[in-house]
């Protein structure tokens, strides 16, 4: 943070009123000394005031700031306080390969944001489905903010997929921590959302990687259904492979980034329709694992994410306003 330049302190006035040896200098009267001391005191007071202003403060403005009320929380048309999702809380140290054996599945798309990612969000919305987008931090920027907010408005989750997509088992603990932390920071900076889910690139996970992820509030999510869509085997092959491997509690991996993903995009409407025909519900990974979303009161703006308290998911954590 830039600070205004500090006014240097006044140098002590030279004691010219004393002659060598400590006697009073000739020609200086006591009344003049008092006047001189008064002038020096006034100058010192003015210097202090200048120094304070030089630091960007004033007594009047600080008092006014202290008396000013905090920014008002956003409210709905009927006056209800609004809340927006700001993250999630996960628990447990083990990596997830699947969820409980219920008639539900969770979908994760990796390696975005990418040029095809907005089309994936549209596809999910049209099919009334939700997914987790595991994001690479270095591909995020302020230009992606509208996309990330759109995903959150649609009920999708944002997950950590490292900053630059390395094999985490081949780098040291400090580098693993940096990869995860930088991705968290990038996601939070562009969306206001702090992820609690992490997927290691290539599925390269070990006890050390999972432990570091856990220390950052991240739960490691792997998969048990993989259509290898990144090889672009064709829309029909992607659909057939998912449907052949799926079972209750499955976690499906596919990709919205890392290359052309038109085949994957075209396959998923049929996958979603046929999963539902078999009796499966498509759920978020938070719902599958019993994790909890975190909401805060909106301050001024909700970025289109504002919900009244009665609209919040069951079990949501309500954090105080920042």
Quote the CA–CA distance of 267 and 272 in Å, as a whole number: 9
> Hey, what's the torsion of the CAs at 309, 314, 317, 319, to 10 degrees?
0
Which one from 96, 116, 255, 256 is the annotated catalytic residue? 255
In whole angstroms, how far apart are CA 128 and each of 156, 193, 223, 263?
11, 22, 22, 20
206 noted as active-site residue: no
Quote the CA–CA distance of 82 and 79 in Å, as a whole number: 9
Question: What are the structure tokens assigned to 89, written together?
Answer: 């809380």
Q: Of 116, 110, 54, which is closest to residue 252 (Cα–Cα)?
A: 110
Quote the CA–CA distance of 1 and 38 in Å, as a whole number: 38
Residue 263: Cβ within 10 Å count? 19
Q: List strand residue ranges (DSSP E) for the chain, in order.
A: 82-89, 104-112, 132-135, 157-160, 197-198, 219-220, 251-255, 281-282, 292-297, 307-308, 317-318
User: Which helix (H) or strand (E) element contains residue 37?
Assistant: helix 30-54
* Concatenated DSSP letters of 157-221: EEEE--SS---GGGS-HHHHHHHHHHHHHHHHHHHS-B--EE--GGG---HHHHHHHHHTT-EEB
Quote the CA–CA distance of 24 and 18 in Å, as a whole number: 5
Which one from 96, 110, 190, 229 is the annotated catalytic residue? 110
Residue 237 CB burial class (10 angstroms; 0-12, 13-18, ≥19): middle
Please, which residues bridge with residue 198 across strands? 160, 220
User: Which helix (H) or strand (E) element contains residue 8?
Assistant: none
110 noted as active-site residue: yes
Q: Report, as residue numbers or ranges, the catalytic residues.
A: 110, 255
């Amino acid at each position: 943070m830039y600070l205004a330049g500090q006014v240097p302190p006044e140098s002590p006035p030279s004691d010219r009123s004393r002659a060598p040896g400590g006697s009073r200098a000739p020609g200086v009267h006591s009344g003049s000394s008092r006047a001189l001391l008064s002038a020096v005191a006034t100058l010192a007071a003015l210097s202090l005031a200048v120094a304070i202003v030089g630091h960007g403060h004033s007594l009047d403005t600080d008092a006014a700031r202290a008396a000013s009320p905090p920014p008002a929380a956003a409210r709905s048309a009927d006056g209800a306080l609004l809340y927006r999702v700001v993250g999630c809380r996960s628990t447990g140290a083990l990596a997830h390969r699947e969820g409980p054996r219920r008639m539900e599945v969770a979908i994760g798309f990796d390696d975005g944001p990418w040029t095809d990612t907005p089309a994936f969000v549209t596809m999910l919305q049209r099919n009334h489905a939700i997914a987790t987008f595991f994001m690479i931090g270095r591909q995020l920027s302020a230009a992606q903010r509208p996309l990330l907010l759109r995903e959150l408005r649609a009920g999708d989750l944002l997950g950590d997929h490292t900053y630059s997509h390395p094999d985490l088992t081949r780098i040291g603990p400090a580098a693993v921590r940096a990869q995860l932390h930088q991705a968290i920071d990038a996601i939070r900076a562009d969306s206001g959302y702090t992820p609690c889910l992490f997927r290691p690139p290539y599925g390269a996970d070990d006890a050390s990687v999972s432990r570091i992820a856990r220390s950052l509030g991240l739960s490691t999510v792997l998969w048990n259904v993989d259509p290898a869509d990144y090889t672009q085997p064709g829309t029909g092959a992607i659909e057939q492979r998912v449907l052949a491997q799926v079972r209750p509690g499955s976690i499906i991996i596919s990709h919205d980034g890392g290359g052309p993903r038109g085949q994957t995009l075209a396959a998923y409407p049929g996958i979603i329709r046929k999963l539902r025909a078999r009796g499966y519900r498509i759920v978020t990974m938070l719902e599958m694992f019993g994790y909890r979303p975190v909401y805060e009161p909106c301050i001024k703006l909700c970025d289109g994410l504002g919900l009244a308290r009665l609209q919040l998911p069951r079990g949501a954590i309500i954090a105080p306003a920042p």
